[in-house]
Amino acid sequence: MANSLERGRTRVAGIADPEMEYQLIRQLGATRYGGASIGECLALARRIESGVPASWVAEFAATAARQETDARQRAARRHTVSARDQYLVACNSYRAAEYYTGIADPQHAVYGLKSRECFLAAMQLQDDAFEIVSLPFGDTPLPAYYLRPAKAAADARKTLMIVSGYDGTLEETWLAYGRAALERGYQVLLFAGPGQMDTMRFHPKLPFIPDTERVAAVALDYLLARPETDPARVALMGISFGGYFATRMAAHEPRIRALIANSPIVDLHAYMASFIGFDPAQMPDAEDFRVADIEHIPAGQASPQTREMMRNLMLRFGQDSFKQTYVRLREFRVDERDLATIRCPALGLVGSGEGAEPIAQFERFRRQVAGAAGYTFSAEEGAEGHCQSGNLAYSAAVALDWLDETLA
């Protein structure tokens, strides 16, 4: 007689590399709002070579193409719900391929635009009002999406603006918090600034800027020109690096009536330096290196994943030197005086496992923003990681329940 019962061949085995494991959890977390399936993610994990970006890209790109083809075929047979759901998982699989593709590789924009294309196809198959928006910003229009619940009450004109961070996208942001906000009756504006992934798909040489209040101004101009918007109930949420963007925006833009920072970043230079254990802005010039030098770093000193992350960081901040990138990061800060100017209700969120510096900046935000509330997610909640990728529904519950009560 057999000693064990086997009901399937899928096993819960992750990826040995810690960063890739986090990215896998990020993908798994998207299952809550329709951005992935557990079975496909675990099957992908078994095929991906740990710590090798090319392997991750190849597997997710192939999966995305299969999912997109399936969605298109279901749409042709008028299976609207099935097609919409498949387009969403394809959208997020293309995003995962985009993430690990080098920023200078033309395929980076290809995967990003495919993610966008699948998302737009999904939006055509659902009932909520949806518009593609282009926000004027000098010579470079910025991408955004506007959504309004199909069943919104005539007087329900509360608005949530959401800006993501370093590698999040508008589409992923909808999966993480936009859908949850729509379910609660909010009209939603998802928007991106210079240097962010969505903007780079169209303008790959436009770097991040520290004065993100300029982006907030054009986003607010657009929203407040719409008759559906109640100026007294306009909130802003920032995710990941967006915690810096949103905090800076709220410090300079009084039209923002409530702020959620997940997590609050008040000093991006210190935040980034904490992850590598030293400050590259202080390194001797003789030890500095440029983008062109990265490929010549010995394999024993930097893995393929680390080399690509360094290249991406330098290019996206518009610097040719690793040292100068961290010098530039010093300009990305919200000082004590600026924090004191935030007068709207504010909520800071952080995961208990994010590290000492993110938690320290969360505490600084709470001390220096008058009346700021805060919540620290725990391992028991499955949400201790960066941006609570492992439990998005609970993160949305904490953030949006607070916002409901604040804007009531």
Structure confidence by residue, pLDDT tens digits, 148-203: 998 766 655 899 999 999 999 999 999 999 999 999 999 999 999 999 999 999 99
Query: Strand, helix or coil at 161?
Result: strand
Q: Are residues 209 and 249 in the same domain?
A: yes
Q: Are residues 52 and 148 in the same domain?
A: no
Domain boundary residue, one of 111, 126, 141: 126
**Residue 2 counted as domain residue:** no
Question: Among 136-145, 150-159, 233-242, 379-388, which stretch is predicted with the lowest mean pLDDT?
Answer: 150-159
Q: Are residues 196 and 208 in the same domain?
A: yes
- Which backbone phi and psi does 31 adopt, to 5 degrees? -60, -30
Angle at 87 between CA 85 and CA 93, to 5 degrees: 110
The H or E element that residue 100 is part of is helix 80-100
pLDDT 10s digits, 67-92: 999 999 999 999 999 999 999 999 99
Domain boundary residue, one of 329, 346, 368: 329
Beta strand 159-163 pairing with 234-239:
parallel
Domain boundary residue, one of 329, 361, 379: 329
**Residue 196 counted as domain residue:** yes
pLDDT for 398 equals 98
* Amino acid (1-letter code) at residue 407: L
pLDDT 10s digits, 256-276: 999 999 999 999 999 999 988
Q: Are residues 147 and 249 in the same domain?
A: yes
Q: 189-226 as b/e, with b when 16 or more CB fall inside 10 Å?
A: bbbbbbbbbbbbbbbeebbbbbebbbbbbbbbebbeee
* Amino acid (1-letter code) at residue 391: N
**Residue 340 counted as domain residue:** yes
Mean pLDDT, all residues of the chain:
94
pLDDT for 295 equals 86
pLDDT for 405 equals 97
pLDDT for 217 equals 98
> Residue ranges of the alpha helices (H) in 124-228?
170-173, 179-183, 197-202, 213-224
Does the pLDDT at position 1 exceed 60? no
Question: If you average pLDDT over residues 204-226, what whole number do you get?
Answer: 96
**Residue 4 counted as domain residue:** no
- CATH number for the domain that contains residue 221: 3.40.50.1820
Does the pLDDT at position 296 exceed 90? no
Express as a percent the part of the chain with pLDDT over 90: 87
pLDDT for 7 equals 61
Burial class (CB within 10 angstroms; exposed 0-12, middle 13-18, buried 19+) of 7: exposed
Q: Are residues 281 and 348 in the same domain?
A: no
**Is the model more confident about 301 or about 291?**
291
- Its domain, for residue 194, covers 128-267+332-408
**Considering Cα of 30, then 32, then 35, then 38, what sign does the dihedral take?**
positive
**Residue 1 counted as domain residue:** no
Question: If you average pLDDT over residues 109-135, what whole number do you get?
Answer: 97
Express as a percent the part of the chain with pLDDT over 70: 96
Q: Are residues 65 and 133 in the same domain?
A: no
CB neighbours of 240 closer than 8 A, spacing ≥ 6? 164, 165, 166, 167, 168, 262, 263, 386, 387
Q: Which of 210, 179, 6 is nearest to 92 (CA)?
A: 179
- Alpha-carbon separation of residue 52 from 70, 234, 305, 308 (angstroms): 28, 43, 6, 11
Q: Which of 166, 216, 100, 172 is nearest to 316 (CA)?
A: 166
What does the block give as tokens for 128?
Answer: 């909520």
Q: Which of 171, 164, 301, 179 is nearest to 236 (CA)?
A: 164
pLDDT for 382 equals 94
Binning pLDDT at 50, 70 and 90, where does residue 318 land?
very high
**Residue 5 counted as domain residue:** no
